[in-house]
């Protein structure tokens, strides 16, 4: 979560800004409601004539409050809230203005609760203790205003016989503020929970950091990819240095660089960059097309074309040789006098000028950026240079994203067997069980390990034992369905996740795999051997109601298979 710092260096959640903005948005509406309801009540009951001075004072208070809100909206838009003198002044002014406005209304005692609005945001964002000075200030100010000249001497509260005496009014006000204080104390628990949640999140981040450090050693074989990533970052720094030649260009590229570092969703990033290109260059249309997974066909990823017919023309003809040749060979195309008969993707679209720049990094093509204008001679060398720099940054971002995805895949893979590891399997199992519970289908798991593997290692050596594990993992990958997941669960243990699979089919699949493994002969130079496995099968929700019970019951079924002579399959039961 993003955070800011106060004067003492302590981190403050940006959540503070959110609640303060919500409060500002509702304060002026509450104030307007008080004025209108007061006038309406007087008009309906016909108990009081129109008081011009009172109405003018209410309007003035409302305008002052509205001006305060507008001023803060401008300030908060540039600088995050930080508890301090300005913050205290802002909150006390809100409380005081609301007090003045409430006490000038005939039925203001019915709306004393609105004074809590500024204090509630403090309670939620900073805790109950921080609200106590503001509650005391509001209480004292309320008493002063209520008994001062600014109070409305025609307050309907005085018509109630036991409130005609000032002590009764003071007792009522005191009891009301005590009630407010108790309510705020209860509300303050939200802040406590939020603080605890932040602490838990930091602990989780620390744990993930330690796990990442453990994986770093296994990631040495990816050193070449890391070196390439460093090279890309150096190119990015070099590109940023060259952008100082133009202030406008520098600002544009700075915005894009910030987006690359803060926006992790590729589609969202491309949409942002596309909007920047439209705003900076003032073009009619801007489009970003990327190669599909196979790397053979271009697909329009982002476009500002709204008309369905025009968009269909571009989408259907984006793979024209004119554009594909530019993308594949890294060639920039500029044409300020477009003939629609020569370019299929411009027919009927009123395109008179176009500029196409490929998305390439380190000789690898990812797609292209195509901008168009409805007037001729729209693009010059400056446009070409700026767009080429922008596309270079996009290309680097895309390349970094692909490298990151590869690293993520490595983090989810067992280094020896090249199948998924236990962490990935358990995360995937949680997702699959939640989806199965929502959609009402069965999920099965097959947990098994190699029989007498320790004795096998002692006889043939650990290197051959590793060959056995790798051979077995490859055979399992080739023998399961596309949606099934096989993972190394630990040591010589493997586990298979079977979505949309009931107990009977899971048992048949386990038997099939067991027979295949039993018949498998593993060879390495002069060594030739075979292994057997014991398997345990369990099914959600037939035999297990949650993830823990599912894995536990499968493990118990596995041990049952071990105790039954090994090289067999056993299914969990409800007792397990």
Residues labelled catalytic: 492
Q: Which residues face 488 on adjacent strands?
A: 494
Q: Are 557 and 538 in contact (CB under 8 A)?
A: yes
**Contact status, residue 457 vs residue 469, Cβ threshold 8 Å:** no
Helical axes 381-411 vs 247-262, angle rounded to 10°: 20
For 258, counting Cβ atoms within 10 Å of its Cβ (0-12 exposed, 13-18 middle, 19+ buried), the class is exposed
How many residues belong to the chain? Answer: 576
The token pair that represents 420 in the structure block: 């998924």
Q: In whole angstroms, what is the distance from residue 465 CA to residue 457 CA? A: 6
Backbone phi, psi, residue 319, to 5°: -90, 25
Can you tell me the distance from the alpha carbon of 36 to that of 204, in angstroms, rounded to the nearest whole number? 51
Where b means 16+ CB within 10 Å and e means fewer, 205-225 reads eeeeeeeeeeeeeeeeeeeee
Which residues 6+ apart lie within 8 Å of 187 measured at CB? 120, 123, 124, 128
Instruction: Determine how many CB atoms are found less than 10 A away from the CB of residue 442.
Output: 18
Q: CA–CA separation, 179 vs 226, rounded Å?
A: 61
Helix 166-218 vs helix 116-126: crossing angle, to nearest 10 = 30
- Based on its alpha-carbon atoms, the radius of gyration of the chain, rounded to whole angstroms, reads 35
Q: Contact 145/151 with Cβ under 8 angstroms?
A: yes
């Amino acid at each position: 979560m993003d955070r800011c710092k106060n004067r003492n260096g302590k981190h403050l959640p940006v959540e503070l800004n959110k609640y303060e903005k919500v409060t500002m948005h509702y304060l002026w509406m509450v104030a307007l409601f008080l004025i209108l309801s007061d006038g309406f009540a007087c008009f309906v009951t016909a108990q009081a004539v129109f008081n011009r001075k009172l109405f003018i004072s209410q309007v003035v208070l409302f305008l002052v409050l509205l001006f305060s809100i507008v001023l803060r909206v401008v300030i908060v838009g540039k600088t995050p809230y930080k508890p301090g003198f300005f913050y205290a002044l802002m909150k006390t002014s809100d409380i005081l203005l609301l007090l003045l406005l409430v006490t000038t209304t005939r039925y203001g005692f019915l709306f004393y609760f609105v004074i809590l609005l500024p204090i509630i945001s403090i309670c939620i964002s900073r805790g109950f203790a921080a609200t106590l000075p503001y509650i005391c200030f509001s209480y004292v100010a309320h008493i002063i205003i209520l008994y001062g000249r600014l109070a409305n001497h025609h307050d309907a509260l005085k018509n109630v016989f036991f409130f005609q005496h000032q002590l009764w009014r003071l007792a009522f006000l005191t009891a009301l503020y005590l009630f407010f204080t108790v309510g705020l104390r209860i509300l303050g628990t939200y802040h406590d929970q939020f603080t605890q949640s932040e602490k838990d999140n930091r602990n989780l981040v620390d744990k993930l950091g330690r796990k990442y450090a453990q994986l770093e050693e296994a990631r040495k074989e990816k050193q070449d990819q890391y070196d390439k990533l460093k090279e890309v970052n150096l190119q990015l720094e070099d590109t940023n240095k060259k952008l100082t030649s133009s202030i406008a260009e520098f600002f544009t590229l700075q915005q894009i660089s910030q987006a690359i570092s803060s926006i992790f969703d590729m589609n969202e990033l491309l949409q942002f960059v596309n909007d920047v290109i439209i705003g900076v260059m003032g073009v009619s249309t801007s489009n970003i097309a990327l190669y599909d997974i196979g790397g053979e066909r271009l697909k329009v990823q982002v476009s500002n074309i709204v008309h369905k017919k025009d968009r269909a023309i571009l989408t259907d003809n984006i793979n024209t040789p004119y554009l594909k040749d530019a993308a594949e060979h890294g060639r920039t195309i500029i044409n300020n006098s477009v003939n629609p008969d020569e370019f299929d993707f411009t027919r009927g679209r009123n395109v008179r000028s176009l500029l196409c720049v490929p998305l390439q990094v380190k000789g690898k093509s990812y797609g292209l950026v195509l901008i168009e204008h409805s007037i001729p001679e729209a693009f010059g060398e400056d446009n070409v240079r700026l767009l080429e720099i922008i596309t270079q940054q996009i290309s680097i971002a895309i390349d970094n994203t692909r490298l990151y995805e590869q690293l993520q895949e490595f983090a989810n893979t067992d280094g020896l067997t090249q199948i998924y590891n236990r962490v990935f399997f358990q995360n995937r199992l949680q997702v699959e069980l939640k989806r199965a519970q929502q959609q009402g289908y069965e999920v099965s798991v097959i947990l098994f390990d190699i029989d007498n593997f320790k004795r096998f290692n002692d006889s043939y050596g650990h290197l051959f034992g590793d060959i056995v594990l790798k051979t077995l993992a490859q055979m399992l990958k080739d023998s399961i369905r596309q949606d099934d997941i096989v993972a190394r669960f630990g040591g010589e243990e493997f586990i298979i996740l079977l979505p949309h699979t009931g107990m009977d089919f899971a048992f048949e699949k386990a038997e099939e795999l067991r027979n295949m493994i039993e018949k498998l002969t593993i060879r390495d130079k002069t060594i030739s051997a075979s292994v057997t496995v014991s398997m345990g099968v369990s099914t959600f929700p037939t035999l297990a109601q949650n993830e823990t019970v599912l894995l536990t019951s499968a493990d118990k079924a596995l041990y049952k298979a071990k105790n039954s002579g090994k090289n067999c399959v056993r299914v969990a039961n409800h007792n397990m």
